[in-house]
Amino acid sequence: MHRLSLSSILICIPLATSASSYGSIIDNYEGQYGEAITRDVCVIGGGASGAHAAAPLKDLNKTAVTGTPIDIGVVVSQPLPAVFAFFSKFNVPLLDTSTIVPNAAGQPANKSVPAPWFNTVQVHTDFRDGSAVDIPQDGAAVGLALQGLAAVMSKYAAILNGYEFLPDPVPKDLVLPFGDFMNKYNPTAAIPIVRQIAQGQGDLINIPTLYVIKYFNIGDIAALTQGYLTEAKGNNSLLYTRVAEYLGSGNILFQSTVVSANRQKGNRSQLLVSTPGQDRLKLLSCGQILFTIPPTQANLQGWDLTDEEEAIFAQLTGATGYWTGLAKLNANGKGPGMNQTVTHQNAASTTSSNIPVLPALYGLSPVGVLDDVWWIKFAADTPTLTMIREIQTLQRANNVSVTDPEWLIFDSHSPFMLRARSEDIEKGFYKRLTGLQGSLGGRMFYSGAAYNLDVVTVIPKMMKGSA
């Protein structure tokens, strides 16, 4: 393995991409770019995967460039050794949630604990008409159901290490719609818990079981009783801020756009990048590329895809829109507002397992530590009037002032959990997808949720490819 200088990693965080011809970037855009940057590794994406890749690459004397992470709603991590190590590296304190002493439900918030642990009275409401939905709360039955679910999940625990460990042939259990899987093994009493933890997956009952038990897995079942980890002061962005400081501003291109890529000619890859606030484009020369953003059609415009890449990525057809934010619901102070000690969980009165009919809000929950500030989590590809209509439906049903929300922040986690169809999974889709690692002569690698590949697995392969 050869060693490289600190300036050899670039992390590029794209906002979007735009199409262009796939010829030589230097020829097509000569005179249009200013700075030319040479790096051993260019990391595309600055969310969890990009940030977690960039720091260890720097430790190996490689460098990277990344974008702005969105962490609205990112609250907990499982208590894994890798989590402890990464947070410790950047001196970000963690808190075991099992040690938190929250307020009693219905009482004011305990402001000494992170805001997500504001304890509220939980009610189930059909957001379509504001009516109450009776969902029996049987703690013993839920506990037994989770135990049964964990026992079944344990048969497939290897997939948590990556889709490359998916058995061949793929077990029928994993391609069943999740509702059918739960009916088969009968832990249906656990569905409300799964739905709450796996929020963002949308039509939970009808997606392939593989995706549900990857996202809500045996680690979650253990953490529900033993505790998760959360940032001790409730500052979810602190980790990313310190990662950015560690990498240095010269190795980060925030909110940048990949305009064009040329990876198939020569022994290095070229990326043409546009960065907000800068008049001229940047030309990146990359020894290797680590692509960590969702491989959607929009994100891949401008990339010179191989026939194999194009065919594989085209099969990732399923995804859920997921928007999160904070809003004031009674900013003008005229008349009574919603009860700030009550959380409304959206539950349809007419569907299987009371799964909300999408597009819909997942719930409406007060922050507690700030007056009249509410968590907003919405399932849809794009924001719609449905979201505001449902808030106002709840206001009317609770006989309080009907208002338009005042948005403090609102942003997208979309696409959330890219998915292939069950029939494509059975035909070996993930064998083909993981086969892209190290393609283009060891210059192209992938990580992130769509690939279910942790950087701990990917980086050694990259180092082998660069030797």
- The torsion angles phi and psi of 432, rounded to 5 degrees, stand at -70, -40
Domain chopping of the chain, boundaries: 6-74+236-304+437-466, 319-416
> Tokens in use for 312?
């594989």
Q: Is residue 178 left, alpha or beta, with left meaning phi > 0 and alpha meaning psi from -120 to 50? A: alpha
The number of C-alpha atoms within 13 Å of 309 and in the hemisphere containing its C-beta is 20
Distance CA 225, CA 78 (A): 12
Identify which of 71, 64, 14, 90 has the alpha carbon closest to the alpha carbon of residue 249: 64
Kindly report whether the peptide bond that precedes residue 359 is cis, defined as omega within 30 degrees of 0.
yes
Q: How far apart are the first and last CA of the chain?
A: 4
Q: What pLDDT, on a 0 to 100 scale, did the predictor assign at position 14? A: 45
DSSP state of 167: -
Q: What pLDDT, on a 0 to 100 scale, did the predictor assign at position 52? A: 87
Q: What pLDDT, on a 0 to 100 scale, did the predictor assign at position 5? A: 28
Strand 121-126 relative to strand 342-346: parallel, antiparallel, unpaired? parallel
What string of pLDDT tens digits covers the 467 residues of the chain? 222 222 344 565 444 333 333 345 555 666 677 888 888 899 998 888 888 888 888 887 654 444 333 335 568 899 999 899 999 999 999 999 999 999 999 999 988 888 888 999 999 999 999 999 998 888 999 999 999 999 999 999 999 988 999 999 999 999 999 999 999 999 999 998 999 888 888 888 999 999 999 999 999 999 999 999 999 988 888 898 899 899 888 888 888 888 899 999 888 999 999 888 888 899 999 999 999 999 998 889 889 999 999 999 999 988 888 998 999 999 788 788 999 999 999 999 998 889 998 899 999 999 998 899 999 999 988 888 899 999 999 999 999 999 999 999 888 888 888 999 999 999 999 999 999 999 999 999 999 888 887 766 788 888 876 54
Strand 406-412 relative to strand 322-328: parallel, antiparallel, unpaired? antiparallel
Strands (E), 329-387: 342-346, 360-366, 373-379
Q: What pLDDT, on a 0 to 100 scale, did the predictor assign at position 268? A: 92
> Tokens in use for 434?
């993981």
Identify which of 19, 277, 46, 24 has the alpha carbon closest to the alpha carbon of residue 10: 46
Quote the pTM value: 0.89
Residue 151 three-state SS: helix
Q: What pLDDT, on a 0 to 100 scale, did the predictor assign at position 416? A: 83
Class of domain 6-74+236-304+437-466: alpha beta
| Distances 266 to 287, 306, 439, 462 between C-alpha atoms, Å | 11, 15, 14, 18
Distance CA 400, CA 336 (A): 5
- A 10 A CB-CB count for 147 gives 12
Buried-state track 23-59, b at ≥16 Cβ within 10 A, e below 16 = eebeeebeeebeeebebbbbbbbbbbbbbbbbbebbe
> Tokens in use for 415?
């696409």
The number of C-alpha atoms within 13 Å of 62 and in the hemisphere containing its C-beta is 26
The structure tokens 């790096």 sit at: 39
Could you please report the per-residue DSSP string of 84-118?
HHHHHHTT--EEEGGG---PPTTS---TTS-GGG-
The answer to whether residues 252 and 267 touch, using CB atoms and an 8 Å cutoff, is no
The number of C-alpha atoms within 13 Å of 328 and in the hemisphere containing its C-beta is 10
The answer to whether residues 208 and 170 touch, using CB atoms and an 8 Å cutoff, is no
Q: What pLDDT, on a 0 to 100 scale, did the predictor assign at position 210? A: 97
Q: What pLDDT, on a 0 to 100 scale, did the predictor assign at position 129? A: 97
Identify which of 281, 290, 345, 317 has the alpha carbon closest to the alpha carbon of residue 421: 317
> Tokens in use for 253?
């291109």
- The torsion angles phi and psi of 308, rounded to 5 degrees, stand at -65, -45
Q: What pLDDT, on a 0 to 100 scale, did the predictor assign at position 377? A: 92
